[in-house]
Amino acid sequence: MRKSWFHPLAVITVVLLALMPLAGCGPTPTAAPAPTEAPAPTSPPPAAEEPIKSVAYPDYYPAEYEQIVEASKEEGILLVYSVMAESNWKPVIEGFNELYPWIEVQTLDLGGSEVFERYYAETASGAQTADLSITADPSGWLEFVKNRDEAVDYESPERSKLPDWSMPLPGLYTVSTDPMLILYNEQLLPETLRPKGLTHLAKLATENPDVFKGKITTYDIIIPFSFAINWAFVRDRGEESWETLEILGPMTLPEQSGGTQLNKLASGEYVVGYFVSSGVFPKLPDLEGIVGWNYIDDGTPVFLRGMAIPKSAKNINSAKLMLDFILSHEGQVAWGKGGLTPYRPDLTADECPRTFQTIAEAIGGEEKMVLVNYDENAAPGRDAFVERWNKAFNR
């Protein structure tokens, strides 16, 4: 009688509890491959004065780099907070793991400001947090690096290969420079109604309200990088760009993601989208003949995806390896494959059809770009700007 009370549920519980570690959940996620599984150095036994180089990272890296590589073997899972989807990450992680197979990379696709906020909350509570943060939120980065001093001031060996504007603050690097585009539905918009720029779109929409009313989309200003783009556009193109936005506003339904914008452009719910992120590029080949695109002739915003190692990072050596890989020639090519726009000046058109340089050529020079950079005036001007934008967009 003793042993049999209420057995089925008890048995289920016990079995499930026993299964938990197998399923790879619980307090500690599945451990990274044990250090012992790391590939033994394939190079011949080192000569006395030559540093051991177990991994094929670029030759111009300093000799001390090997220490970072070695130290990373003792670390846990590399946790990255970013605004990129897994599909964007895939080629990068694959390339990274070819070099450093013992580092398991886990990426979390977060909303713009969540990359920082989650970090602040977790640091305060002493919980484990990001080892590497990547997001496109200039004001957030200024707060993070300058005001809160949360970024590790890491000197990447790739520095000499990168343009100065990509490293605006100590420890803050740039992952990619992504252009914002105009997308349109080719089946619903005849050639003559496809806009070349914002001013053009405003003109077309005023002339053909029945085609465009409620059928234009853009990013909602609530998204931090949408604010940054709109801010930079108005800053660079002057007060009269407000007039354009105020014409477009009442006809536009703002969305929160590029993926949704693309889906609804494909379904015909929208006929045109402006300031659509080039993150949609990998999906465009499938939609040939349905969705077309072009740069924006009165100013193609190009935003910088910032990256830094936060001070509370636990797996700091793994994070350094990832940061350097992202900036390396190979890493930049991988981002290109993942749908982002790399900017390293030594990329060739074969490796990467779309880079910062090729865009500049395509739109007729860098001065045609609106560089969405780290503007100190943006944060103080934000509330008034957002209010005016919301008013223009009937929000």
Partner 1 sequence: MLVKEGTQRLAAQNLLGIRKEHLIQYGVAGLTACLVLAPMLPVLYTSLLDRPLYDPGGIVSLDNYARLFSDPAFHKVIGNTFAFATLTTLLSVVLGVVMAVLIGRTDLPGRSVLGEVLLWPIYLSPLVVAFAWVIMYSPAGYVTLFVKHRLHFQPWNLYTIPGMAMVAAVALMPIAYLYCSSSAAVADPALEDAARSVGAGPLRILFSVTLPLMRPPILYSTVLIFTIALEALSIPMILGGPVGIDFFASFLYNRWLGGTQPDYGLVGAAAVVLLLLVTGLVLIQNSLLRETARFVTVRGKATRPHVFKLGWLRWILFAFICLYMLLAALLPMAGLVMQAFTKFLTPLVPPWQFLTLENVTVVFSYPAYVRSITNSVLIALIGGVLTTLFVALIALIAHRSEFPFRRVLDFLAVYPRAMPGMIVGIGFFWALVMVKPLGTIRNTIWGLMIAFGVRYLPTAFGAISPMLTKIGAELDYAARTVGADWWTTCREILFKLLKPALYSSFVLLFIQLIKEYGSAVFLVAPGSEVMGLTMLQFWVQGETGPVAALSLLQVGITMVFVFIGRRAFKEKIYA
Give the nearer residue to partner 1 in terms of CB position, either 52 or 222. 222
Give the nearer residue to partner 1 in terms of CB position, either 348 or 377. 377
Q: How far is the CB of 270 from partner 1 (least distance, A)?
A: 8
b/e burial code for range 301-337 (CB count within 10 A of at least 16 → b): bbbbbbbbbbebbebbbbbbbbbbbbbbbbbbbbbbb
Can you tell me whether residue 236 is helix, strand or coil? helix
Q: How far is the CB of 307 from partner 1 (least distance, A)?
A: 18
Give the nearer residue to partner 1 in terms of CB position, either 38 or 276. 276
Q: How far is the CB of 55 from partner 1 (least distance, A)?
A: 24
Q: How far is the CB of 135 from partner 1 (least distance, A)?
A: 11
Can you tell me whether residue 253 is helix, strand or coil? strand
Question: To 10 degrees, what angle do helices 329-337 and 316-327 make?
Answer: 80
Give the nearer residue to partner 1 in terms of CB position, either 98 or 117. 117
- Report the chain's terminal Cα–Cα distance, integer Å: 68
Give the nearer residue to partner 1 in terms of CB position, either 45 or 285. 285
- CA dist 313 and 78 (Å) reads 9
DSSP for 71-123? HHTT---EEEEES--HHHHHHHHHHHHHH-TT--EEEEE--TTHHHHHHHHHH
Q: How far is the CB of 79 from partner 1 (least distance, A)?
A: 6
Which residues pair with residue 217 across a beta bridge?
A: 253, 273
In angstroms, the Cα distances linking 392 to 84, 215, 230, 234, 250 are 30, 16, 13, 14, 7
| Angle, vertex CA 202, rays to CA 197 and CA 203, nearest 5 | 100
Give the nearer residue to partner 1 in terms of CB position, either 44 or 285. 285
Q: Residue 174 is encoded by which pair of tokens?
A: 């740039």
**Residue 145 gets which letter from DSSP?**
I
Q: How far is the CB of 23 from partner 1 (least distance, A)?
A: 5
Give the nearer residue to partner 1 in terms of CB position, either 232 or 369. 232
Q: How far is the CB of 309 from partner 1 (least distance, A)?
A: 17
